[in-house]
Chains A and B, each alone.
Chain A
């Protein structure tokens, strides 16, 4: 590049070094780093993205920025103490599910049976928690796609559900409501009526959500046909939860491998057709309606009686052995594998996080779509980094 003839001669040369800064024509790929502190990653996740033009050609997901080693912490705690860690350290938006899967595994190991009323209370609070979690998930998609109003609407609706949980256990996010052998508090007087009222008010708002966001032309443009999946592909890459169901594959642990008392309720498993970003969101909305159905039935059927098993020792010591429990969390299947050596503390716990596996399949979902779609795809996986990094 010679001197610019249009510039007056006394203007000094540019400070940038000589050279052609355009990429050569045959070089198409370049790297873009997203995160770890990027709002689109829903937490501290780093996506090293290789782009071909506008399209994602390769993706390296780096995690571990919030790793607290839940599994090592647990090895130094007694069995009842662990519950406080599973709902903080793992998936904190669905803390009830984490506590429940740990309790299922530990109760299996310790041979504790749970009273009937406690099972119903567990179902009610986890389904409320599932709705609260899904509201965050679909609301955050609005935030990602430039509809912050929708996020605030969802957040306000979630607030009504979280108040119910606050009323029954005193906490809004980290509940520690479940105990080995039941739950810690009974429902306060009039709580079931307030649950019914809150559910009705939340469900009644869904048509207005549809008007604001789900039927919006911009959202359709951003979501339909993005990251489509067939059931076979979904099973091959290990998809689970709403992502798997959005492909049309009807698989829900509550129905297919029922735990607790889920075989007593009458509910559907909503599925999508194409498995794209749009369907994954719709499946979550439909799932909330089904959750409300389950809660209504549980409130009608709940028996009187004790809500915590008697004679649970303060420091239980199981026989040497192993146990695994899995359940359907809002993000997919979570599991807890406990190994006991006969001591008062778990010898080893392995946490199977749903978000961990969801994020692991992100390259399979995102490669071939544009960078702006990548943010949407991450949003539909609904990753909670506490569950990924543990």
Chain B
């Protein structure tokens, strides 16, 4: 993750729109999204910052993930880019990104998940494409999505052992070449 984002403090205004120029749909959508997240999530909102290419990166507590996804969806983020994980060896980071066709607002929502034993609430009812994205994440990382209608392996065969994109996965037919540097 790029740099810790400071938690919002009281009176912390994200952007002060210019008095003469009315804010663009993207800017207005962003202000409204962050305002809603702050008021509704409360302490579950860890922080937010502007990422690459104007993406609004929002970090939430695990307990607020589902609620935050509902807020993001309700704010017009109707196109899902991806759902994936990053394995940081001691924990996983679950990341969800999407954008809105109306306001062109891009949002990246991430939360910290334990490597084992923590079930993530599904978002398949919010974005239909989340169905296969969550199946792939389950397949590759072993993250169980509670409430998913059909949580099977997707890319690996049904009887496959282990979850290949975890950093500690050992490939039995290892084709990984040695490091050169």
Contacts and interface: CB of A to CB of B under 8 A. Distances in A.
A38 interface: no
A360 B129 contact: yes
Interface residues of A, number: 41
B176 to A, nearest CB: 6
Contacts of A348: 84, 86-87, 165
A315 B129 CA distance: 36
B127 to A, nearest CB: 7
A326 B132 CA distance: 19
A251 B101 contact: yes
Nearest to A357: B129
Contacts of A236: 128
A112 interface: no
B108 interface: yes
A76 to B, nearest CB: 6
B78 interface: yes
A322 B97 CA distance: 12
A358 B1 CA distance: 30
A322 B2 contact: yes
A238 interface: yes
Contact of B81 (A76, A352, A389): A352
Given A324-B81, A348-B86, 17 more contacts: A63-B154, A67-B155, A69-B155, A72-B164, A319-B2, A320-B1, A321-B52, A322-B1, A322-B2, A323-B51, A324-B108, A335-B82, A348-B84, A350-B82, A361-B128, A364-B128, A390-B155
Interface of A: 63-64, 67, 69, 71-72, 76, 108-109, 235-238, 251, 256-257, 315, 319-326, 333, 335, 337, 339, 344, 347-348, 350, 352, 356-357, 360-361, 364, 389-390
Interface of B: 1-3, 51-53, 55, 57, 78-82, 84, 86-87, 95, 97, 99, 101, 104, 108, 127-129, 131-132, 140, 153-157, 164-165, 176-177, 181
